[in-house]
Amino acid sequence: MRKGMCVVLGLTLAFTVSAQAQVWDELADGGGDAGDVLPLQQTPGPPDVPLVAITGTIDSSTDVDCYSIFIPAPTAFFATTVGTPGTLSDTQLFLFDKRLDPTGAGPLGIIMNDDHPGGGTLRSTLTGGVGVSGPEDFGSVPAPGSYMLCVTGFNRDPVSPGGTIWAPGSVGGSFAWESEPIGPYAGPGAPGPHIGWTGSTGTGTYFIELGGVATKPEPGTLSLLALGGLALLRRRRS
Ligand SMILES: [Ca+2]
Ligand SMILES: [Ca+2]
Ligand SMILES: [Ca+2]
């Protein structure tokens, strides 16, 4: 059997054995309140399994809960509180790139949503593609990888050293806290690295339904994936 095929079969077997879907609970699984800035976020586990939901509680006017997630295929990604259980009626969702900005001060904002882009609810939806969940869905996830997903209630918002990230006026003047930003506002073009939060939130429980999300892979799996990719490349070139 060719080496590349062995690697692919090995990966398939490893994934099948450990592929039970995980619902992560902030208290029961995380052991307490999830932190609100890198690296105080919770990291749902076990590694390498589909992550289908995260549940928890916004328990004070300043609480924000953040989680490490892995997005293997950006176009399949979504995170939503629309139609899910939970007493927190007006949610907000934020996705940050876990790689630090060039100054090392913090992660950069990728996409956010306050009220669902399709309208009709104060709950929130993020998608990996543009326009998937409604005409106001402007954001996208740029590449497969590890991200930090944060949930809070309206109106507790992320800040950078220069002020509010995704603040009205900072992204073209028409910003209304709906599914901004992306494009020039993502990654290196975002107004600044995330260092904290401002404003206050209502309290209550939340249930974030997830699609196209896995728990963080083990480092060995990433190496194996890279090896598999190399093997496939070599096969194509030979
Ligand atoms: Ca919490
Ligand atoms: Ca928290
Ligand atoms: Ca909202």
pLDDT tens, residue by residue, 124-142: 999 998 888 887 777 788 8
The answer to the question of residue 117 being in a domain is: yes
Q: What is the pLDDT of residues 46-92, one digit of tens each?
A: 999 999 999 999 999 999 999 999 999 999 999 999 999 999 999 99
Q: What is the pLDDT, as a whole number, of residue 221?
A: 63
**Average pLDDT of span 104-124:** 84
Q: Which of 37, 38, 155, 135 is nearest to 92 (CA)?
A: 155
The answer to the question of residue 158 being in a domain is: yes
- How many angstroms separate the CA atoms of 147 and 154, rounded? 22
The answer to the question of residue 11 being in a domain is: no
Note residues around ion ligand 1 (Cβ under 5 angstroms). 33, 63, 65
Distance 235 CA to ligand 3 centre (A): 49
The answer to the question of residue 16 being in a domain is: no
The parent domain of residue 71 ranges over 21-216
Q: Which of 24, 26, 8 is nearest to 16 (CA)?
A: 8
The answer to the question of residue 228 being in a domain is: no
Ligand closest to CA 27 = 1
The answer to the question of residue 135 being in a domain is: yes
Residue 158's CATH number:
2.60.120.380
The answer to the question of residue 9 being in a domain is: no
Q: What is the pLDDT, as a whole number, of residue 179?
A: 38
Ligand closest to CA 62 = 2
The answer to the question of residue 223 being in a domain is: no
Distance 144 CA to ligand 3 centre (A): 26
Q: For residue 14, is pLDDT > 50?
A: no
Number of domains in the chain: 1
**Average pLDDT of span 109-113:** 81
